[in-house]
Amino acid sequence: MSSKSYNPYANAQAQFDRVAEMIGLEQGVRELLRQPMREYHFTIPVRMDDGTTKIFKGFRIQHNDARGPAKGGIRFHPQETEDTVRALAMWMTWKCAVVDIPLGGAKGGVVCDPHNLTEGEQERLCRGYVRQLSKVIGPWNDVPAPDVMTSGKHMLWMLDEFETIVGGRYPGMITGKPVGMGGSLGRTEATGYGLIYVLREALKELGIKPEDTTASIQGFGNVARHAAKMYQTIGGKILAVSCWDNADKKAYTFVNKEGIDVEAMISITDTYGSIDKEKAMDMGCEILDGEAWLEQDVDILIPAALENQITLVNVDRISKSVKILLEGANGPTTPDADDVIKQRGIFLIPDFLANAGGVTCSYFEQVQCNMNYYWEKDEVLDKLNTKMTAAYKAVSELAKRRNLYMRDAAYVISVSRVAQAVKMRGWV
């Protein structure tokens, strides 16, 4: 990976500044939207199983809530930083706006490595996180969700702590809960499936049949696995996936030129998205270095692991065969690498459009919680498909009409919607 360090917040601001300039955004709106409205930084003391107390660092950052309650996941990651959370909060605002759901943007994080925490320690950490924030999160102001290394069980501990503090039942306080405990059917699949709904539309536009395509995916966690499944359903063939190996502290790429059997691969993957190397070799996979996913001769690349993965240093490793870059992760491409992607004419489906299926389904979850009436899975996925397709078509139509790069077109739509909301509220 690159020795140059990329700051996701600086990237997010640079992307915003470009679009603010492009659409001639007024100075007050520009200043308001290029930074978060509120930030909470705090410590979380956790009683460890061995009787000692460990102090963790936590954040919740609300970028903008002019269009509705702020919304965004909570990440548990040892390298979590304020600036990553700021960038992700900002991208959440644009994401909710591009799919036109009535929510703003926020993000949370805890600097920790859940691999090294027992179930009990993770539960106390979740409860401690909510104790620090109970006055500023909730169904009507800021609604968290799972993200990297957090899941439904963490959300339920957080909900339980919130309800204990506030008194009463507020299932719409948090999303990504287990089904049967206020969760929505389809939520687990939503981000990955959403990626493929927009890919399907892009392939239609480009006149390419899905069954004639191949893909390589970075990551094999929640997003990547469900994207892989749906991509196979529409006829595509996956030649490579990659993952982080926590024991070796490095990433690996698993390649099978005949096509990877997604279900079989899932069966040898742990809950953190790490694939068993020996079993993968038994399944006919070749194991290469962590960046090899980038240089496979495929039609579609899907980064679905972390931010800053395609940089100026490795962007030239992308094979000439690649036609589409479908960004599953948030901020996987640095701005300098993005310029190269643009020059090479690779068709980009930008992150905050492509991976908006998760937050769209989280919004559906909240709606169901507030009604206390839950939809069938087909109904959820139909609604998701409709929303994602409409958002993709609006961005692509603008891109064509004004000859814009897809990322810029998505930004123009989102920033204009949020700018209009802050002005209508009379904030600027």
Sheet holding 104-111, edge to edge: 38-47, 53-64, 104-111, 70-77, 142-146
C-alpha distances in Å from residue 5, one per residue of 1, 143, 272, 313, 384: 10, 31, 25, 11, 36
Closest alpha carbon to 150 in 367, 358, 327: 358
The residues assigned a catalytic role are: 107
Alpha carbons 206 and 376: distance in angstroms, whole number: 33
305 binds ligand NAD (CB under 6 A): yes
Stretch that binds ligand NAD, among 64-72, 144-152, 374-382, 392-400 (CB under 6 A): 144-152
Instruction: Choose between 76 and 375: whose C-beta lies nearer to ligand NAD.
Output: 76
Instruction: Choose between 20 and 294: whose C-beta lies nearer to ligand NAD.
Output: 294
251 binds ligand NAD (CB under 6 A): yes
Please, what's the b/e burial string for 276-301 (b: 16 or more CB within 10 A of its CB; e: otherwise)? ebeebeebebebbebbbbbbbebbbb
What is the helix (H) or strand (E) element at residue 27, kind and residue range?
helix 27-33
Q: What is the C-alpha R_g of the chain? A: 21
358 binds ligand NAD (CB under 6 A): yes
Alpha carbons 423 and 416: distance in angstroms, whole number: 10
From 218, 360, 368, 414, residue interacting with ligand NAD (rule: CB under 6 A): 218
Q: Which residue is nearest to ligand NAD (CB)?
A: 221
- Does the CA dihedral 348-251-216-360 come out positive or negative? negative
Stretch that binds ligand NAD, among 132-140, 222-230, 255-263, 401-409 (CB under 6 A): 222-230
Residue 188 CB, nearest distance to ligand NAD (Å)?
8
Residue 293 CB, nearest distance to ligand NAD (Å)?
7
Stretch that binds ligand NAD, among 221-229, 294-302, 370-378, 413-421 (CB under 6 A): 221-229
Alpha carbons 38 and 127: distance in angstroms, whole number: 22
Alpha carbons 153 and 131: distance in angstroms, whole number: 17
Alpha carbons 67 and 101: distance in angstroms, whole number: 8
From 329, 348, 399, 419, residue interacting with ligand NAD (rule: CB under 6 A): 329
Residue 328 CB, nearest distance to ligand NAD (Å)?
6
Residue 291 CB, nearest distance to ligand NAD (Å)?
8
From 355, 360, 368, 396, residue interacting with ligand NAD (rule: CB under 6 A): 355
Closest alpha carbon to 422 in 24, 28, 95: 28
Pairing of strands 237-245, 250-255: antiparallel
Stretch that binds ligand NAD, among 35-43, 145-153, 203-211, 411-419 (CB under 6 A): 145-153
User: Which positions from 188 through 217 interact with ligand NAD, judged by CB under 6 A?
Assistant: 191
368 binds ligand NAD (CB under 6 A): no
223 binds ligand NAD (CB under 6 A): yes
Stretch that binds ligand NAD, among 14-22, 315-323, 324-332, 403-411 (CB under 6 A): 324-332
Query: By rule CB under 6 A, what count of residues binds ligand NAD?
Result: 26
Contacts with ligand NAD, residue ranges (CB under 6 A): 147-149, 191, 218-224, 242-244, 251, 273-274, 290, 304-306, 328-330, 355, 358
